[in-house]
Amino acid sequence: MSETIIDIKNAVVSYRENVALQGVSLRVKAGEFVGIIGPNGAGKTTLLTVVNGLGRLLSGQVKVLGHRLVPGNGRSLRKKVGYVAQVQNIDPRMPMNVREVVMIGRYGRLGLLSRPGGRDWEVVDEMLELVGMSHLARRPIGHLSGGEQQRVAIARCLAQEPELFLLDEPTASLDWKAQTDILELVREVHEARTLTTLFVTHDLGCLPVACDRVVLMKAGQIWGEGRPADLLTSENLSHLYDMPVAEVEKRRAENIPV
Amino acid sequence: MSIFEYQFMQNAILTALLGGVACGSIGVFVVLMHMPFIGVCMSHAAFAGALLGLWLGFNPLIGAFVFSLLAAAVVGPLADRGELSPETSVGVIFSLMLGLAFLFMGVMPGTKSGALELLWGSILTNTRGDVILLALVAVLVVGLIVAFYKEIQATIFHRGMALSVGIPATAILYGILFLTGATITASLRSVGGILIFSLILNPAAAAYQLTYSMKRMFLFAAGFGVLSGWMGLLFSYLFNIPSGATIVVTSSVIFLLAAVFSPKRRVKGWQAKPLAEAGHD
C-alpha cells in the first residue's frame, strides 16, 4: 500500500478578512494524480501553497513528504516540490535564455554560494529534450509563446528532480492545441517519473484524463472527492458552479467550459 | 602641474569610477525588477534624511541611509501586497520626502551651502573619506552580486518562482533594497539628492537595450556608469559647468544612443539568426 505523502488536517488560511481555506483536510498517497477543480476563488491555489509551504496557516496541521510545516520551515521542503503556475507575463526583453531559466530549478538543491556544474547543465539539457524544447534552448525566454513557456516551466520543475509535482492552472490562457499538448506532456511526465501530481484547474475540459481522483472545492472548503467518473456528475457540477442541471448538461454536450 | 595631480581631481575620478560601478550595478535590479518607483522614493528620502542630519547636527550620511531604508520599508511591502499602485506610492512618498527635505532646509539656521551641496551634488569637493566609503559600498555591492548571482538571477526573473524552488527570495529582495540604500547614501554627496536616481537608472536602462545576457547587462551597466561619471567630469571641467548635472545628462545621452541602436528593436531579425549565433550563456 502506498505511503501517504500529503496529510492536511483542518487547515485554515486567511488573507486579512478573507478566509481562503476553511478547515480543509486532504490525504494524498505517493504516485497519485489528483485533480482539484472548482470555481474561481474556491481556494484551489491556496491549497497548493499550503502543500509547498508558502501558505500561512492560521490553524490546522500539514505534513508533506515527512516535513511538518510550521511558519518559516518550508524552504527545505520546496526543494523537493515542483510548482508550475499559470502562464507568466514575462518581459520580452528579459536578459535570460531558456536554458538559464530551466537551470533555476537546480538552484534550490544546489544551495547558497555554490555554482551549477557540468552535471547540472546535463540535467537541464535532458529536461529540455524531454519537453521538446532543445531547439529553443538559447532563445531569450521572453520570445517564447505561452505554450512554449509552459513547457519550459515544466522542464524547470523536472530539473528540480521533485518528488511532488504541483500544477496551478498550467493551461489557462493557452489555445486549444497548446492546452492539449501540455495536458499530454503532464500525463507522460507523471507516468515516466512516477511523481505524485496535484493539478488545479477551474476548467473541466482541462482536467487530465490521467486523474486517479478528483477533489471538488468551493468557498474554501472541499466539497467532495472521489473517482472522476463518480464525482463529475451534472448534479454535482450544478452545485459546484451554482448553475441549473439543465444548463450544465447543455454546456457539457456542447463542450463549452463550465 | 597636471590637473590629475590635484587630490580633489583624483578623488573625483575615483568617485566616478566607484560610484559608476555601484550605481550601475544597482540599476540592473531597479530596471529588471520594475521598481523605479522604490528607487525614486529611496533617493529622495535619502536627501531628506541627510538634511535632517545637517539640521540636527549628526552625520548627514547616517540620516540619508536610515531615511532611504525607511522609505523602502514603507513603499516596498505596500506595493508588494498590491495595496498601493506604484504610481500612488511614488506620489505619496516622493512628495512627502521632498516636502520634508525643504522643511528641514527651511528651518535650518545659518547658511544653506551644505544643504545645497546635497541637493545638487559636488564631486569635486569629495574627501578621501567619501572615496573610502564609496569603495567599501562598491566592493560590497559587487561582492554580493558575484557571491549570490544565481539567487539574484532567479529572484529577478520571478520572485514567486524563486521562492517555490527553495531560494530565500524575500531575503534577497531585502538585501537588494539594503544595497540600494547604501549606494544612494554613499553617492549622495557626489551627484546630489535630486539627481542620484538618474545615475542609478540610466546606465542600467542603456545596458538593458543592448543584451539578452544578465551577466553582460551588469557589466555594461557598470561600464556605462563609470563612463557617465568620467565624461561628465571632463565636460564639467572643460566647460566649467556643475558636475553632478553634467554626469546625469551624459548618462541620459548614453541611454538615448543605446535605445536608438538597440538590437532588441529588431526582434524578428534577431530571431531569424541561427540559434548558435543568437544565443548567450
Chain B residues with CB under 8 Å of A109 CB are: 166
Return the SS3 of A255: coil
- CB–CB of B55/B167 below 8 Å? no
Any domain includes B124: yes
Partner residue opposite A88 with nearest CB, options B148, B158, B264: B158
- pLDDT of residue B39 exceeding 90, the answer is no
Dihedral angle computed from the Cα positions of residues B214, B218, B224 and B225, in that order, rounded to the nearest 10 degrees: 150
- CATH superfamily placement of domain A4-228: P-loop containing nucleotide triphosphate hydrolases (3.40.50.300)
Interface test with B, best of A56, A81, A90, A100 (most B CBs within 10 A): A100
- pLDDT for the residue A257: 59
Strand arrangement, sheet containing A221-226 = A81-84, A164-168, A196-201, A33-37, A213-218, A221-226
DSSP 8-state secondary structure symbol assigned to residue A112: T
Question: Nearest-CA distance from B148 to chain A in Å?
Answer: 6
Q: Touching check for A198 and chain B: CB below 8 Å?
A: no
Q: What does the pLDDT average to over B266-278?
A: 54
Between A88 and B101, the higher pLDDT residue: B101
B150 CB neighbours in chain A (<8 A) are 104, 107, 110, 115-116
- With CB atoms and an 8 Å threshold, state whether B275 touches A137: yes
Residues B161, A76: C-beta atoms closer than 8 Å? no
Q: Which residues of B touch A (CB under 8 A)?
A: 32, 34, 147-148, 150-151, 153-154, 157-158, 160-168, 208, 211-214, 216-217, 264, 267, 271, 275-276, 278-281
Q: b or e along B151-182 (b: 16 or more beta carbons within 10 Å of the residue's beta carbon)?
A: bbbbbbbbbebbbbbbbbbeebbebbbbbbbb
Secondary structure (3-state) at A93 = coil
Residue B274's φ and ψ, nearest 5 degrees, are -60, 145
For residue B274, the model assigns a pLDDT of: 47
Question: Which pLDDT does position B82 carry in this prediction?
Answer: 63
Residues on chain B touching A97 (C-beta within 8 angstroms): 212-213, 279-281
Measured CA to CA, the distance from residue B243 to residue B268 in angstroms comes to: 41
- Report, as ranges of residue numbers, the positions in chain A whose pLDDT lies below 50: none
Q: Which set of grid coordinates corresponds to residue B47?
A: 536627501
Q: Evaluate whether B237 touches B3 at the Cβ level (below 8 Å).
A: yes
Nearest CA in chain B to A166: B164
* Domains of chain A, residue spans: 4-228
Check whether B152 has a pLDDT greater than 50.
yes
Complex ipTM, two decimals? Answer: 0.86
pLDDT of res. A127? 92
A150–chain B Cβ distance below 8 A for any pair:
no
Q: What pLDDT shows up at residue A248?
A: 84
Q: What is the pLDDT of residue A9?
A: 94
**Which range, A21-30, B191-200, B241-250, is most confident?**
A21-30
**Whole-number pLDDT of residue B216:** 96
What does the DSSP assignment read for B198-210? Answer: HHHHHHHHHHHTT
The dihedral sign for the CA sequence B221, B194, B187, B154: negative
In a domain, B213, yes or no: yes
Say yes or no for a CB contact (<8 Å) between B161 and A83. yes
Q: What is the per-residue pLDDT for B243?
A: 85
Q: What is the mean pLDDT of residues B226-230?
A: 95
* Between B91 and A167, the higher pLDDT residue: A167
In angstroms, the CA B67 to CA B41 distance is 10
| pLDDT of res. B81 | 67
Name the residue among A96, A108, A113 with its Cβ closest to that of B166: A108
Q: In this predicted structure, what is the pLDDT of residue B1?
A: 60
Q: pLDDT tens-digit profile of B125-145?
A: 888 888 999 999 999 999 999
pLDDT at B275: 47
Residue B146 has pLDDT above 50, yes or no: yes
| Chain B residue numbers touching A143 (CB-CB < 8 A) | 267, 271
How many CB pairs (< 8 A) connect A and B?
101
Q: Given an 8 Å threshold on Cβ–Cβ distance, is A95 in contact with B147?
A: no
Beta strands in chain A (DSSP E): 4-15, 18-29, 33-37, 57-64, 67-68, 81-84, 164-168, 196-201, 213-218, 221-226
Domain that holds residue B194: 3-263
pLDDT at B279 over 50: no
Helix B113-120 to helix B169-191 angle (10° resolution) is 120
A52 touches chain B (CB under 8 A): yes
Summarised one tens digit per residue, pLDDT across range B43-75 is 889 999 999 998 998 989 999 999 998 888 887
A chain contacts of residue B159, beta-carbon cutoff 8 Å: none
Using an 8 Å CB-CB cutoff, list chain A residues near B208: 93, 95
Nearest chain B residue (CA) to A161: B165
Residue among A93, A110, A138 minimizing CB distance to B264 = A93
Whether the CB-CB separation of B139 and B25 falls below 8 Å is answered with: no
The answer to whether residue A136 neighbours chain B at the CB level (below 8 Å) is yes
Instruction: Report residue B206 as a C-alpha cell.
Output: 542603456
What per-residue confidence (pLDDT) applies to A173?
A: 75
- The answer, for A83 touching chain B at a CB cutoff of 8 Å, is yes
Domain tally for chain B? 1
From chain A, the residues in CB contact with B211 under 8 A are 95
DSSP codes, chain B? --GGGSHHHHHHHHHHHHHHHHHHHHHHHHHHTT-HHHHHHHHHHHHHHHHHHHHHTS-HHHHHHHHHHHHHHHHHHHHHTTSS-HHHHIIIIIHHHHHHHHHHHHH--S--HHHHHHHH--GGG--HHHHHHHHHHHHHHHHHHHHTHHHHHHHHH-HHHHHHTT--HHHHHHHHHHHHHHHHHHHHHHH-TTTHHHHHHHHHHHHHTT-S-HHHHHHHHHHHHHHHHHHHHHHHHHHT--HHHHHHHHHHHHHHHHHHT-GGGGHHHHHHS-HHHH---
Residue B275 lies in a domain: no
Say how far apart CA A107 and CA A96 lie, in whole Å: 15
Across B168-173, average pLDDT: 90
Mutant choice from B164, B170, B208, B273 vs A, greatest count of A C-beta within 10 A: B164
Q: Which residues of B touch A77 (CB under 8 A)?
A: 166
Q: Does residue B269 form part of some domain?
A: no
pLDDT, one tens digit per residue, over A14-27 is 887 777 899 999 99
- B83 vs B126, higher pLDDT: B126
